[in-house]
Each structure stands twice: as C-alpha cells, then as structure tokens.
Structure 1
Amino acid sequence: MYQYDQYDQQIVNERVEQFRDQTRRYLQGDLSEEEFRPLRLQNGLYIQRYAPMLRVAVPYGLMNSRQVRKLAQIARDYDKGYAHISTRQNVQFNWPALEDVPEILAELASVQMHAIQTSGNCIRNTTTDQFAGVAQDEVVDPRPWCELIRQWSTFHPEFAHLPRKFKIAVHGCAHDRAATLVHDIGLEALRGKGGELGFRVAVGGGLGRTPMVGSVINEFLPWPHLLSYLDAVLRVYNRYGRRDNKYKARIKILVKALTPEVFARRVADEWALHKDGPNTLTEAEVARVAQHFVDPAYRDLENQPALLEQWDKQHPGFARWRVRNTHPHKKPGYVAVTLTLKATGEATGDLSDKQLDAIADLAERYSFAEVRNSHQQNIILADVEQGKLLELWQVLREQGFATPNQGLLSDMICCPGGDFCSLANAKSIPIAEAIQRRFDDLDYLFDIGELELNISGCMNACGHHHVGHIGILGVDKKGQEFYQVSLGGSGGRDATLAQILGPSFAQDDMADVIERIIKVYLEQRSEDERFLDTYRRIGMTPFKERVYAVSH
C-alpha cells in the first residue's frame, strides 16, 4: 500500500495544527458557527443528531494493521468504543467530542491517516473492488490508478469548491464489485485489442434524490491521458453545474440536461486544450506509484482441493462458511476471506474497539498485516493460505466474525439512519435487525441464495437502496416513520435502478413484507435463478399482488 513521503506527512501534520487553532478559536467564540462550518467540513467533521461524526479517509479501502489498531485506540479513548464502516470504504466515529477532534486527527496523522476531503463539495474518497490485486477475474489492478487519482485530486485548487460533492470509483475485473455506474465518474480499467491499457469512462451516475445510471462518454481512454481527461470532465462540471439549487447541482443533472452526447463533446473540446499538458502520465510516474502495490511475499504453494473437501466433510459449518465467505485468489494456494459485519443483533458495519484489535491481530497472523473495507461494509483479509483456512475459521467463530452470509439476504447494506443521522426520516438499524432475525435460519438463507438488500433512512441514499435487489427507504408520513420498498436494482455491470413496489409500510410490518416477497421468488424461480433474475423475468406484478393482498 502507498506510504507517505516527508512532504505528505508534513502537509497532514500542518493541517492538524491548523484545525487545532480553528477549533480553539471557535470554542472561544472568536469564530461563528457559519465561519466554522466550512472549516470542520474540510476536516471530515459533521454535526449529527446527538454528537459530531468524524469520517476518516481510507483510500480505496486499504489499511495496515497498525492503522487498524490506531482506530481501535481512538474508539476506546475518544468515542463510545466502536467505529463504523461506510459504503465508501471509509471509517466513521459517531460520538467524538468537538474539543477532542484535533487530537484525534493528530493520532491519525501518526499512522498516515487523515479526514481530509471526506466531506464538503470536493472530490471524495476514490473507491474500488475489495479484491483488487488478488481477484482471479481481474484484468488490471486498479489500486495504482486509484492512488494516482487520489494524489491528483487531494487539495486540487480548481476543484475544492465544486457545485456538489463528487465521487469516483474504479474497477478492473470481469465483475463490477465497486458499483462504478452509480458514481459521478465510473472507470473500468481494461485492455484493448492489442493488449494496450485504457479506461472506459462513464459519467453522471449517482443515487440520492434523483438516482441515475452513468452514461459511457469514452469507450477507451488511453492510460496516459487519464488525469487530463478527468480534469476536462471536472472543468465542464465546474463551469456548467448548477449552483443555485443543491438538489440539482450534481453532475448527473448536468449530463441529463445537456444529454450525454453533448456533455461528451464539451469534455472533448475542453480536453483538446490540455490533452498533452503537465497532467499527461508517463511510465515513470505510473511505476513510481505502482511500486507500492507489488505482491507480498507469497509462498510457492499449490491449490489444495482435497484438503479443503476433507475439512468440508468433517466440519459442515466450515463448508458453509467457505462457500460464502471465501473468494478465489490469483495466486495458487491462497484465498481472500470476507469477515461479514452482519451478525444478527449487531448494527450493520459496526466494529468494537476489541474487534478492531482482533482484526489487526488476524491480519498480521494470516494476511501480510493488510486489511480491506468493502463497499458492502465488510472486512476482507485478502491473502490467506488455504492450508490455514480451518484454523482461521475456528478463530473467527470465537470472535464473532464467521457468520457465513456474504452475499446473502442478511448481509445487507444499511446506513446509520435516524438513530444517529440528523437528515434521516426514519431509523434503519431496527429494520435491518428485524429482517435478520426473521431470516436467521442459515439453511433458509442458503436456499434463497444471492440477494442484495439495501436500507437507507432518507432520500440521500447512503444505504444505496436504489441498487439493491430489494431496497428499503425510510420516509416520513405526518411525523411517523414508514418504509418504501423497491425491487430489481443492481449496482453491477448490468446496473439498474429499483422500481417502487407501491405504498409504504409501517415498521412492524417490514419483516412480514420481505418474507412475502421472498416466498413469491421461491415459488416462481427456475433452476439456478437468483432473485434478480426471477424479478427481471416475471416483473413486479406477482410481488405486488402478494404483498398488498395480505397487507390490505
């Protein structure tokens, strides 16, 4: 992973001291709330329902064990003993005291972490596939390109005050596990017919109040021009994006208003002015960054299917976990392991300080001291030897990390909702827990199969409900919390937006509603169909008829 040089460290240290002085002046009354607001947002600090929330940047979801231990210490010393993994692969603290935030930032800086550009109208954390660099289906490792984008975008003076926040995702696999098509810019790294490297560029995706799937505006952008082309996209947006209405300020609104074709032409015209300028990448510059992402010291191993099958027979729980929570690795003898943070009764994506310390230990013992956060709010150990899988599973069971539900209904994405967020219309966490309890039978979950259920507490869609196979949105009805259900979304290569099932439901009805939806699927599915496949084949009507016939 990337390591700070002396200039990186100096910049982060100076930002800490700058914010320490700004906070002191605010607490003394020398800065007004209006004056302090942009300063705190530049350092990742929000004011939530009950306390400040500090969002810590985790570039493309990658951390080392030392950083994880620091997060554990911060959770213990400055928060209520836990942290939260966000859908943008960052880490959030929900209960820091304002006066402690400068010290928290200093603690983060000591392990090469910060909270810069995790909020505000700027380019946010660039995200990617949680299996980047190790996946068997990978065409290009996106991590060096994510790092190049991070270095280009951090403190970029031209894009510090965009019309609205701006999100970029990159993937380089046959399967899009980074939901790139619902980002402001989605990049797919790919090879041309002659093996040359380039990027397919999609622009104008996004969720929130006006969800849209991005439009491809460049089918193959040669790699040397990646940053200059991104410059052109951002300049067109900065120039023409709406600033009079924050609900219409995202780039997706501009792309739709102009049409993708016209937007692409404006980008091309802008790009022509500086296509071969200082931002043109060289092999030397790419190599400088790529050296931080070389393979770890893998052992020369072979795949061990016979051993794994033997363990499967001896330990049915291990077999179930291995099927769901391990991912094929490019290196023989290794697998990537997902620790799902979705045990029943636990808030989705939350980790205690003790769990963080345990994960750091696991990373050092089993995965070259590296940890990854996923878009699905889980933790990944990317480089585990197959011969150590049974031992790891036994340890994970003791620590509560071995729930074998990765990719299943109970492995849901869920925002903090009304329990924490001042923007939320309704609580999300109790809905997630009620559904998890209803579907706590692992045999039933395995029979249902792959199913993505996403929950958001408001139209900002932090829980990505628009692209869930089943999506749930909290809504306010005359001061009461209700929930709108949608079906058929996907954030993958075949990205689609879910369609609303019908009128919303009360909180106590939600588990029943989801169960009726699942029963229609199980009755209607053909062999090997996922929920999404069945929905696309039979449409909305059978689900609607079953749910509302009972509800009304």
Structure 2
Amino acid sequence: MYVYDEHDRQMAAERVAQFRDQTDRALSGELAEEEFLPLRLQNGLYIQRHAPMLRICIPYGMLRSAQLRRLAKVTRDYDKGYAHFTTRQNVQLNWPALENVPDILADLAEVEMHANQTSGNCIRNTTTDQFAGVQADEIADPRPYCELIRQWSTFHPEFAFLPRKFKVAVNASEHTDRAAIQVHDIGLQMVRNEAGELGFRVHVGGGLGRTPMVGPVIRDFLPEFDLLTYMEAVLRVYNRYGRRDNKFKARIKILVKALTPEGFAEKVEAEWEHIKDSPTRLTHEAVEHIRGFFTEPDYQSLDNATDLLAKQRFENREFDQWLSHNVDIHKKPGYAIASLTLKKTGIPPGDVTADQMETIADLADQYSFGEVRVTHQQNVVLADVRQDQLFDLWQAITPLGFATANLHTLNDIICCPGGDYCNLANAKSIPVAEAIQRRFDDMDYLYDLGDIDLNISGCMNACGHHHVGNIGVLGVDKKGDEFYQISLGGSSHHDAEIGKILGPSFAREQVPDVVSNIVDVYVEQRTAEENFLDTYRRIGIKPFKERVYA
C-alpha cells in the first residue's frame, strides 16, 4: 500500500497544527460556530446526539497492522474503547472530546493516517472492492488509481467548497461490484476496449438520500491516462451548474437528471476539450510510480490444500460452514481471502473494540502479510491467508466472535449507528438489526434462503444504504414515535436498482414479523435456481404487499 514521503508527512503535520489552532480559537470563542463548522467538517469532526463524532479516513479500505494498533490506542485513550466501521471504508469514534481531537489527529499522523475530507462539501474518501489486487477476475488492480484520485483531490483548492459532498468509487471485477459504484457521484468501472487498452466506464449522478438514483453511464470508455482530467471536467461542470440555494437539491445527481445524462455529458466533453492535455493528465511514469507501492507480497509457491481442507471440513461442520461462506478464491494457488464478520448477534454491526483491533492486527501479521481490508459491508478482510493455515485462523477468530458464518446472509446486515448516536436520525437502527438477527437465528435456514442483502438506515440520509438492500429498512418519524418503512428489490451490484417502498410504515416491534412474512413469500414462490432478488423481479411487489398487509 502507499507509503508517505517527506512531502506527505509535512502536509499531514501542517494540517494537524492548523486544525489545533482552529480548535483552540473555537473553544476560546474567537471563532463562532458557523465559522468553525466548515473547518471541523473537512477534518472529519461532527457534533452528534451525545458527543462529537470523528470520522477517520481509511483510503480505499486498506490498513497496515501498525495503523490498526494505533486506532486501537486512540480509541482506548480518547474514546470509550470501541469504534465503528462505516459503509465507505472509514472508521468513526463516537465519543471523543472536542479539545482532544487535535491530539488524536497528531497520533494518527504518526502512522500515516488522517481525517482529511471525510466530511464537508468536498471530495470524500475514494473507495473500492475489498478484494482489490487478489481476486482472479480483476481487469487490473484499482488501488493505484484510487491513490491517484486521493492525491489529486486532497486539498484541491477548486473543489474544496462544492455545492454538496462528493463521493467516488472504483470497481475492477468483471462479474461483481462490491463497491456499489452506481450509487456514487462518480462510479468508475475498469474495462478494456477491443484493442485491449485499459480504461474506465464512467457513471455519474448516482446516490441515495432523499432522491435515490442509479448513476447513468456518461462515457463508455475513458482511456487510463485521462482519468484525472476527465474527473476534473465533471467537477467543474458540477461546480458551475450545481444548485447552491437548496442543499436537498445540491447533489450532482439532481444536476444530471435536470440536464439529462446526454446533456450533462455534452457539457463535460466540452469542458474536457480545454483541459484534457493539461499537466493533470496522467503519464505512464506517474502511474507506474504509484503502482510500485502495490506490488505483490512475498507469496510462496504453494499447492492448493485441497486434501487437507477436505479432511478438516469433514471433521468439523462449523469450519466447513465458515469456509463455504466467509472464504473466497484467491488469484494465487494455495492462498485464500478470509472475511472476518463484525455481525455477531448482540453487537452493533460494524463495531469493534480496541482489544479486538489489536488482535486483528496480530492476526494480520501472522496470517496476511500485516495488512487488513475494511469492507463496504462493515466487515474486515485478511486477503492473503495460506490455505493450510485457514483452520488455525478459524480457531483463533472463533472466540472473538469474528467467525460467524453469516456473510451474505440475511443476518449480514448493513446498519448505520442510527438514533443511538446520530442527531439526524429519525429512529434507532441497531435494536432493529439485533431483533432481526435474533428472529433468524437458524443458520441452516439462512443458508437455504441464500444471499439476501438487508440494509437499515435511521433516516433518509441513507448511511445504511437501505435503498439498495434487497430488503431495505428506513427509520421514519411519526408524530414523535419511531416507525420503519420497508422497501424491496434494491441492489448495489452490477444490476443496481433502487428498491420500491412496500407501503405504510411499521412500529419497531413489528419489523421482525414483517421481514418473516417477506421471506415466507420468497420461499413459497422461488424456483430452484432463484435467489431473493430473482424471485422479486419475476413476481413483483404485489404478493409481498398482500402478505404483509393482510
């Protein structure tokens, strides 16, 4: 992964010093809250329901073990001993004191971490597939391009105060999208043209929130070296024409819809003509320099441990389930990708303690070349595990609660912090997730149901991505009471789609029953080859609505 040079370290140190001064002036009253607001936001600091919340950047989801240990220390020293991984490959501290935030940022800078642009109306953390660089069906490794976007966008003066926040995601797999690129402001799918040249299919104008949209394609093939100049053209058009009079209509998706994708693309192409050959255009040398930070680790020549794993699976059913659901194929023979689930029932999805972070760091050193990946689904990944060490890893993570073999099942719930923490939330999310997990506690039944994405958001801002859950749950306010609206048929993958609202909302205690009724219809109606989304698309929403509101 990328390693800071002296220039990076100087920038990080100066940024911390700058924010320390700003914080001191805010605490003394020299800076009014409205003046401090945009400054703290672009340093990742929110004021939440009970305390400040600090969002720390994990660029494209990658952490070295030393960085994870530092996060554990910061969490223990300045917070309540736990943190929360988000859907955009960041980590949040929920209880830091405002006066301690500069010290936290200084501690993070020592291990090449920061909170720059994790909030505010700027270009946020660029995300990608947690299997980047190790999956067999990859067009090319997307991480160097994510790093190039990060370096280009960080402190970019022209895009520091956009009409609204701006999110970018990159995907490189031909067959799946684990980065949800089509519901981002810019989504980049790596492709090759007929000549075999590397490039990007560009989606613009995706997003969730109050007006959920799937981002249309505005360019089928963008040559590799034109990546940054084209993105610059997109952002210039947005900066020029995006609305600033109404924050609910300020996202780029509203502009794309108003101009039509074709009209927006015309403006981008016209702007791009002026800058496509500017110094921002990438060169082979620049790409190779960044790619040099993402070389393969010291893989050994290994045979696939097929016989050993077969014996271990036969002797231990729980290990067999974990292999089937939480372990994926690696591009290198003899290695595997192991996902550690942070979805044990009774624990808020995505939460991890300081002690657990230190243990994961130790496991990364022992089993995965000292690296950890954070996922869009709020889990963590050890991407380079030897197959002959999988059983040892499984034994190590089982008592920690990380071996719950529920990946991709109904219980692998994406969930925002909701009303327990966030002052924007209309309702709590975490208790609803736990109630659903407790209702569906039969793992064999979950496996029979197959892959089902269930996502929960506490408000319309959609931090839990409920719009693109196969089953989505949205917290709403009804005269001061917490209710929940259900949507069906969403997807964040290559077949991205916004779910349709089932009907009137439900009280919290009704939600597990509603989900059970939805699942029952699916089980009754499915064919042998269908998953939940297939069945929904074939039979439509009506049978589900009739059962739920009977």
Matches within 5 A, 1:541-552: 541-549=542-550
Residue 277 of structure 1: how far off its partner (Å): 1.1
The superposition leaves residues 471-519 of structure 1 with CA deviations (integer Å, 9 ceiling, x where unpaired) of: 0000000000000000000000000000001100000001111011111
Task: State TM-score, norm by structure 2.
Answer: 0.99
Tell me, in whole angstroms, the C-alpha distance in 2 between the residues paired with 1:233 and 1:36. Answer: 29
State the match for 2:172 in structure 1.
Answer: 172
Matches within 5 A, 1:209-224: 209-224=210-225
The superposition leaves residues 380-411 of structure 1 with CA deviations (integer Å, 9 ceiling, x where unpaired) of: 00000000001110111121110000100100
State the match for 1:539 in structure 2.
Answer: 540
State the match for 1:413 in structure 2.
Answer: 414
Report the aligned-residue RMSD: 0.6
Tell me, in whole angstroms, the C-alpha distance in 2 between the residues paired with 1:323 and 1:279. Answer: 45
State the match for 2:518 in structure 1.
Answer: 517
State the match for 1:397 in structure 2.
Answer: 398
Question: Does residue 1:102 correspond to 2:97, yes or no?
Answer: no
Tell me, in whole angstroms, the C-alpha distance in 2 between the residues paired with 1:282 and 1:8. Answer: 21
Q: The residue matched to 2:549 in structure 1 has which SS?
A: helix
State the match for 2:359 in structure 1.
Answer: 358
Residue 32 of structure 1: how far off its partner (Å): 1.4
State the match for 1:156 in structure 2.
Answer: 156
Unaligned runs of 5+ in 1: none
Tell me, in whole angstroms, the C-alpha distance in 1 between the residues paired with 2:198 and 2:116. Answer: 31
Question: Does residue 1:198 correspond to 2:228, yes or no?
Answer: no
Q: The residue matched to 1:273 in structure 2 has which SS?
A: helix
In structure 2, give the amino acid aligned to 1:34: E
After TM superposition, the structure 1 stretch with the greater mean CA deviation from structure 2, 22-31 or 233-242, is: 22-31
The superposition leaves residues 162-190 of structure 1 with CA deviations (integer Å, 9 ceiling, x where unpaired) of: 00000000011111111000000000111
In structure 1, give the amino acid aligned to 2:450: G
In structure 2, give the amino acid aligned to 1:94: N
State the match for 1:527 in structure 2.
Answer: 528
Q: The residue matched to 1:219 in structure 2 has which SS?
A: strand
The superposition leaves residues 19-66 of structure 1 with CA deviations (integer Å, 9 ceiling, x where unpaired) of: 111111111221111121111112100000000000001000000000
Residue 327 of structure 1: how far off its partner (Å): 0.9
State the match for 1:49 in structure 2.
Answer: 49
Residue 261 of structure 1: how far off its partner (Å): 0.3
Tell me, in whole angstroms, the C-alpha distance in 1 between the residues paired with 2:339 and 2:463. Answer: 22
Task: State TM-score, norm by structure 1.
Answer: 0.99
State the match for 1:129 in structure 2.
Answer: 129
State the match for 1:65 in structure 2.
Answer: 65
State the match for 2:31 in structure 1.
Answer: 31
In structure 2, give the amino acid aligned to 1:92: Q
Question: Does residue 1:494 correspond to 2:503, yes or no?
Answer: no
Residue 449 of structure 1: how far off its partner (Å): 1.0
Q: The residue matched to 1:528 in structure 2 has which SS?
A: coil
In structure 2, give the amino acid aligned to 1:507: R
Q: The residue matched to 2:452 in structure 1 has which SS?
A: coil
Q: Percent identity?
A: 66
After TM superposition, the structure 1 stretch with the greater mean CA deviation from structure 2, 243-252 or 302-311, is: 302-311
Residue 528 of structure 1: how far off its partner (Å): 2.5
Runs of 4+ in structure 1 off by over 2 angstroms are: none
State the match for 1:427 in structure 2.
Answer: 428
State the match for 2:255 in structure 1.
Answer: 254
Tell me, in whole angstroms, the C-alpha distance in 1 between the residues paired with 2:22 and 2:168. Answer: 30
Q: The residue matched to 1:521 in structure 2 has which SS?
A: helix
Residue 195 of structure 1: how far off its partner (Å): 1.2
Tell me, in whole angstroms, the C-alpha distance in 2 between the residues paired with 1:275 and 1:112. Answer: 32
Tell me, in whole angstroms, the C-alpha distance in 2 between the residues paired with 1:200 and 1:31. Answer: 44
The superposition leaves residues 422-450 of structure 1 with CA deviations (integer Å, 9 ceiling, x where unpaired) of: 00000000000000001111111111110
Tell me, in whole angstroms, the C-alpha distance in 1 between the residues paired with 2:188 and 2:334. Answer: 31
Q: The residue matched to 1:425 in structure 2 has which SS?
A: coil
Tell me, in whole angstroms, the C-alpha distance in 2 between the residues paired with 1:154 and 1:33. Answer: 24
The superposition leaves residues 54-83 of structure 1 with CA deviations (integer Å, 9 ceiling, x where unpaired) of: 000100000000000000001111000001
Tell me, in whole angstroms, the C-alpha distance in 1 between the residues paired with 2:3 and 2:87. Answer: 24
Tell me, in whole angstroms, the C-alpha distance in 2 between the residues paired with 1:302 and 1:490. Answer: 37
Question: Does residue 1:292 correspond to 2:296, yes or no?
Answer: no
Unaligned runs of 5+ in 2: none
Q: How many residues align?
A: 549
The superposition leaves residues 208-258 of structure 1 with CA deviations (integer Å, 9 ceiling, x where unpaired) of: 000000010100001111100000000000000000000000000000000
State the match for 2:463 in structure 1.
Answer: 462
State the match for 1:113 in structure 2.
Answer: 113
State the match for 2:229 in structure 1.
Answer: 228
State the match for 1:143 in structure 2.
Answer: 143
